[in-house]
Amino acid sequence: MAKKQESRRRSRSSTLLNSKTAFSIVEAYKTIRTNLLFATSTSQKKAVIFTSAEPSAGKSTTCINLGITTAQLGAHVVIVDADMRKPTLHRFVRLSNAKGLSKYLCGLESMEDSMYRDVFPNLDMITAGPIPPNPSELLSSESMVRLLDALSQSYDYVFVDTPPINVVADGLMCINYAAGAVLVARQKQTRYAELQKAINSIRNIQGNLLGVVVTNVNQKDKPYAYSEEYKYEYKNK
C-alpha cells in the first residue's frame, strides 16, 4: 500500500511543468494561458473556477500548471483547493493537508494561517484542509465570498479547483463570485452528453463559461498539431 501511494505521488509530481517537460506541452499550456488571460481581461473579478463534468478529467493538473505558467509572467497567483471532498492539490507539491480552506471557512484558522507561501515563484496555495461534513454549505457561505474578495485584493489571479459539477454542486456555488469557469474534459472519457450537461449547469445559473480544455488528446493525424497530453491545433476547414 505504501509503495502504491508513493507511486501515485510521483505520478502527480511528474505531471507538473518543469525544465524537463516536453516543449509541446509547455507551449500548449502557454496558449491556454494566453486565451484565459484575454477572456478574463475585461472582468473586475480575479477568481477563475476550474471544474469538470466527471472525475479524473485532469482539472487539478490543468489548474496547477496554468497557475505555474501564469506566475512565470511575473503575476502574483494563488491557487485554492476547493475540492474538499477529494482534495489532491497538496499531493502534487507534497504539502500537508492538515490546514487549509475547510479550517478557514469554519473559523478555525485565519487566511494567513491557511496559506502556503512560495510553493512556486510568485505562486501561493491554500490546500483544501481536513474533509468537512458540509462542503457545499461552506463554499456557499459568506466566509467564502470574503475569502475570494480578500485574495482578489492581494493577487493578480485566483485559481480555484472545484469538484466535478455533474457529481456534486460545490463548484457551482463559486462560479458567480468569479470571472468565470474553465471546464476540463478528457478525450475518450468525457461523453458529449455529460459535457453538455455540465455546460448547461453553468449557463442555468448565469455563470460565465470561459472555455473548455480537452486533455489526453491524440492528434497525430492533424496537419498541424502537438501530439502530447495538452493540445493546441490548427486545421484548415
Q: Where residue 229 falls among pLDDT bands split at 50, 70, 90? A: very low
What pLDDT sits at residue 14?
56
d(CA 123, CA 63): 12
11 has a pLDDT exceeding 70 = no
The backbone torsions φ and ψ at residue 89, rounded to the nearest 5 degrees and listed phi first, read -60, -35
Instruction: Please give the CATH superfamily to which domain 29-234 belongs.
Output: P-loop containing nucleotide triphosphate hydrolases (3.40.50.300)
Please report how the helices 59-71 and 23-40 are oriented relative to each other, as an axis angle in degrees rounded to 10: 80
Sole residue written with cell 494563488: 78
**In the chain, where are the structural domains located?**
29-234
Average pLDDT, rounded, for the chain: 88
What number is the average pLDDT over the span 116-139?
96
